[in-house]
Amino acid sequence: MPEQIYLGFARHDQPQVTLEDTVILPDASGSMALGDYRPTRIDGAKDAAKGLTQVKFAQYPLDRIGVVSYADEAEIHLPLTTVGSHAGDINKAIDDIELRGTTNMSAGLQAAEVVLNGQDNQSLMDVAKAHLAAVLKPNASARAAHSGRQRRIILLTDGGHNVGSQQELFEIADRLKQSGVVIATIGIGGDPSDVNEADLKRIASIHPRTGQPMYCFIADSQSLQIEFKRQAHHLVRMPTTDT
């Protein structure tokens, strides 16, 4: 299956045929406690993520949001949940994210994949088992869970992948994109040199109109809120065919 082709963000008043599932995937490593985003980087990320929920609630209430964080390992805070009826649960899951350790993006993307495939909250061992099963034998019920929905991941970090191999990280990202998942990556901090921009651009989906990765670096919390609200809007897609 080819990578999903999309044109950009739709206005909320345009007719929408495809609902969206979005996994919010913030870095929960120790450096997210730094205070250049007042009061801290993680608080800035949480506020921005709740801004995305606010826009979805007002304009796309049938969309679903899942919440996953990653540090040494990944943690699923909330499976895919309909925004219109459970916005409070989504915001609570965002608030419940706690900092813990290093930066394992591979684990984060794997857990996001499990959530997008319709799995409920589970232990890390269950996540690993479900991930392996999905790779070896895709589950029909999981495919049905996201049938007809655009699937997206918004990955945020203030650093770089430092647990496991870079090759594994790229392989997971490529598999997600080949299955139709759109990945946007966001770097935050005092300076772009704080993050591994090359890896974040490599992980991100490519915009077919601009030819550029869906990556941006954001140096302040207000701009981060604007970006998350922009990301809340639906993608306008082009039909694709297998070749």
3-class SS at 236? strand
Mean pLDDT of 75-86: 98
Q: pLDDT (tens digit, 9 = 90+) per residue, 143-180?
A: 444 568 999 999 999 999 999 899 999 999 999 999 99
pTM for the complete prediction?
0.85
| Nearest-angstrom CA–CA distance, 143 and 3 | 17
Q: pLDDT (tens digit, 9 = 90+) per residue, 38-62?
A: 899 999 999 999 999 999 999 999 9
* Structural domains for the chain: 21-231 (3.40.50.410)
3-class SS at 18? coil
Is the per-residue pLDDT at 30 higher than 50? yes
Measured over the CA atoms of residue 115, residue 120, residue 125 and residue 131, the dihedral's sign is negative
Distance between start and end Cα atoms, the chain: 9
CA trace torsion 166, 190, 46, 19 (10° rounding):
-60
DSSP 8-state class, residue 54: H
